[in-house]
Amino acid sequence: MTNAWTDIKNTDLVVVMGGNAAEAHPCGFKWVTEAKAQRGAKLIVVDPRYTRTASVADFYAPIRQGTDIAFLLGVINYCIKNDKVQWEYTKAFTNASYIVKDGYAYSDGLFTGYDEEKRDYDRSSWDYVMGEDGFAVTDPTLQHPRCVWNLLKEHVSAYTPEMVERICGTPRDKFLRVAQMISECSSPTKTMTSMYALGWTQHSHGAQNIRAMAMLQLILGNIGVRGGGMNALRGHSNIQGLTDLGLMSHLLTGYLNMPTEKETDFETYMSSRQFRPLRPGQTSYWQNYRKFMVSFQKSMWGDAARADNGWAYDYLPKLDVPAYDVLRVFELMNSGRVNGYICQGFNPVLAFPNRGKVTSALSKLKFLITMDPLETETARFWENHGEYNDIATRSINTEVFQLPTTCFAEEEGSLTNSGRWLQWHWQGGSPPGEAKHDTWIMAQIFLRIRELYRKEGGPFPDPILNLSWNYHDPNEPEPEELAKEINGRALTDLRDPADPNRVLVPAGKLVTNFSQLRDDGSTACGCWIYSGCFNEAGNNMARRDNHDPDDTGAYLGWTFAWPLNRRTLYNRASADLQGKPWDPSRKLLEWDGTKWTGYDVPDIAPNARPDQVMPFIMNQEGVSRLFSRGLMRDGPFPSHMEPFESPVANVFNPRMRGNPVARIFQSDVAQFGTSDEFPFAATSYRLTEHFHYWTKHNRVNAALQPEFFVEISEELAALRGVVNGGWVRVWSKRGSVKAKAVVTKRIRPLTCDGKVVHVVGIPLHWGFVGAAKKGFGPNSLSPFVGEANIETPSYKAFLVNLEPTTAPGVQS
């Protein structure tokens, strides 16, 4: 989230698209209810299904899954055509005026530089014209035909209301009503918030879905303001923490990158991370990258990380591929190149796509270790459960170790919520049976491996032998110790550069925040963006002061928000070029002539003049990007792309399948279905009665939603002769499931490009262990393809067929 859950109460218009907040985030949804009840805010839902969120919406518009980009570019087109643009904001705070290189173009659904063989673009032309002064060339009048604004205008002009209807199946009048309601928020005193979730991310073009809305929010002037923003609703209580702490193969902590094998030494690695400002006087905060990186290395390896060994850069693994994401790892496992798997807090048999392939991959392992507080299908993948897990147990040689862990209430620590709040919690009960904290288990594994390296050596034992492990009890690092390590400390006295006699932080003390980190090895910090969470003032994550002066929704005394306890990112953009709030009733910050003051921690240097330093300090430009240069693999602008399995061809280029640069493994190509064989458009989602595959273990949740079902329209039911509550079989090119049918008016067939498209809704909460009735998940059906930039699997749009059937027999 750019903003916070509590800030949603400040909005005038909530757009829920690519998510179902009432269903999947019922507690956070209270802030939508607040905005509606207290401010008279309106709620729009755009979704293939009339959802629980839609049931309390002011307006609902249907859309075919996977076509959100066309819809959103249609809204941008509407806003430009009808002059519904926050001009002052757009001109000052976005790259609308930047001139783009001549080589860049877009036609037939593709940008310049496409190489079909490599499934990749040459992105060199997707960039600004650079002036002789070394800065990007701009035209503040927006007259230049090659400025971003004019290219954007041209790019979105194809997305007329008629085109939106043709692609998305959204009736023209409904689309226009949504566009009109959204466009009203171009006023400086009206804001809209975007609440989205996996309905946008889980597509092969997921990142571009989000970009399209971010661009719309920028031209409406809704980023950095109260009640505005791009608000990703994270699906687990700590999934924000997972990404922040770099639990992804291509990331270190705090969004520092894992090096690639081409970056053979530290200086080479740093050479592409200088982040020189692209306009005069801009902050380009990533210029501090070296400080964060060196402090990270010191945190990992202490005295073994020295200037003369490139801060132990050689100790870091180097990527030979863009990432070892889950799809790649299971592909490697299935082809016998990954032989052991530690599965910590994950249930791949239900969570990863193409379950048949996942099971086949697990069956080839030498060992599988699961760490989970609950019984999982993954730990039991080898067990025959009749039709629900029809497997020949004897044929599997994988050795499975189940290590029971504690659940959140049985341990102390912090959880990072969607709004970037690190909230400390305390242990509420003792772990049952043999359950152990994850930290204890990991420490045991580490200590034993280190002992083996010590005794037996090996090709390169240094990173293991030298790993910092300075805990009170090496067998189980304590949560507070880890939090302090993440916050960072001074290793030697940190002196004021202006006055060397003045010690800012004595050696051994915790740093106040990341502004004190240095690149000379005098500081250590586990995750720079979290720095400030636990400093000499104490555990700031444990703060529980719920005062909120003037009811702004900021709650600065409640826990700690990264970065620097800032609640709204880019909040300097809430004020104009003179530093006056766009909307005085929604002030966040104000320039008092010498410094920024207000309700939130300024997202800019406190004395940065409003007419000189622009608000988007993490970008080299200082402004936000309507045109994202070469930073994304699939285009500098979003453009309409169909799902890999789509009921209709791409109207801009019928030859194009899915995202033209998404990675596809050779073994999966034959497993894509076509609409001839699989005529119906399926999508998958959560239900409010359950949380993923956990709550089926709970009798109460199981009673409230007991059994796997799929949802279809009355029209599709009639077409296939399905009765409400009867059994149906749903199958794709990859698998088959049996489910109860819920025949509903909440799903209606759509007409797309002249063709009737039937939608099949598949919720995801059932498996073969737990208190609920045995069932299946949508991952038995969904395709093995990820998002082109980040490899998030595409669960939201694929093709299936459907017919009436009989109840599954337990014996196969």
436-439: which pairs have CB atoms within 8 A and are 24 or more residues apart?
436/403, 436/404, 436/405, 436/406, 437/405, 437/406, 437/411, 437/476, 438/344, 438/345, 438/371, 438/405, 438/406, 439/476, 439/477, 439/479, 439/482
Amino acid at 526: G
Query: By C-beta, is 600 or 689 nearer to another protein?
Result: 689
Please list the residues that pair with 342 across neighbouring strands: 369
Phi then psi dihedrals of residue 205, to 5 deg: -120, 35
Query: By C-beta, is 172 or 472 nearer to another protein?
Result: 172
Shortest Cβ 23–another protein spacing (Å): 7
Q: And the tokens for 109?
A: 């659904």
Dihedral sign (CA 473, 477, 479, 480)? positive
Shortest Cβ 167–another protein spacing (Å): 23
Shortest Cβ 669–another protein spacing (Å): 36
* CB 517, CB 523: distance < 8 Å: yes
424 contacts: CB under 8 Å, gap ≥ 6: 412, 413, 414, 539, 541, 542, 559
Q: Which of 559, 569, 684 is nearest to 24 (CA)?
A: 684
Q: And the tokens for 598?
A: 């207000």
Query: By C-beta, is 655 or 699 nearer to another protein?
Result: 699
Q: And the tokens for 325?
A: 């994401």
Shortest Cβ 774–another protein spacing (Å): 11
Query: By C-beta, is 12 or 485 nearer to another protein?
Result: 12
Shortest Cβ 121–another protein spacing (Å): 43
Interacting residues toward another protein by CB under 8 A: 22-23, 26-27, 29-30, 33, 36-37, 40, 50, 52-56, 58, 60, 688-689, 699-709, 723-726, 740-746, 771-773
Query: By C-beta, is 60 or 121 nearer to another protein?
Result: 60
| Residue listed under structure tokens 């956070």 | 28
Query: By C-beta, is 34 or 481 nearer to another protein?
Result: 34
Query: By C-beta, is 50 or 446 nearer to another protein?
Result: 50
Query: By C-beta, is 658 or 770 nearer to another protein?
Result: 770
Shortest Cβ 8–another protein spacing (Å): 12
As a whole number of angstroms, the longest Cα–Cα distance in the chain is 85
Q: Tell me, what DSSP letter sits at residue 431?
A: P
544/682 Cα distance (integer angstroms): 44
Shortest Cβ 809–another protein spacing (Å): 16
Query: By C-beta, is 262 or 773 nearer to another protein?
Result: 773
Dihedral sign (CA 196, 198, 202, 207)? positive
SS3 210: helix
Query: By C-beta, is 503 or 742 nearer to another protein?
Result: 742
Shortest Cβ 443–another protein spacing (Å): 36
The pairing of strands 59-62 and 560-561 is: unpaired
Shortest Cβ 706–another protein spacing (Å): 5
596/605 Cα distance (integer angstroms): 8
Query: By C-beta, is 23 or 668 nearer to another protein?
Result: 23
Task: For residue 422, give Cα distances in angstroms to 21, 127, 133, 414, 559.
Answer: 21, 37, 43, 6, 6
Shortest Cβ 278–another protein spacing (Å): 45
Shortest Cβ 71–another protein spacing (Å): 19
DSSP per residue over 344-392, as a string?
Answer: ES--HHHHSS-HHHHHHHHHT-SEEEEEESS--TTTTTTS--GGGG---
Q: And the tokens for 195?
A: 């609440």
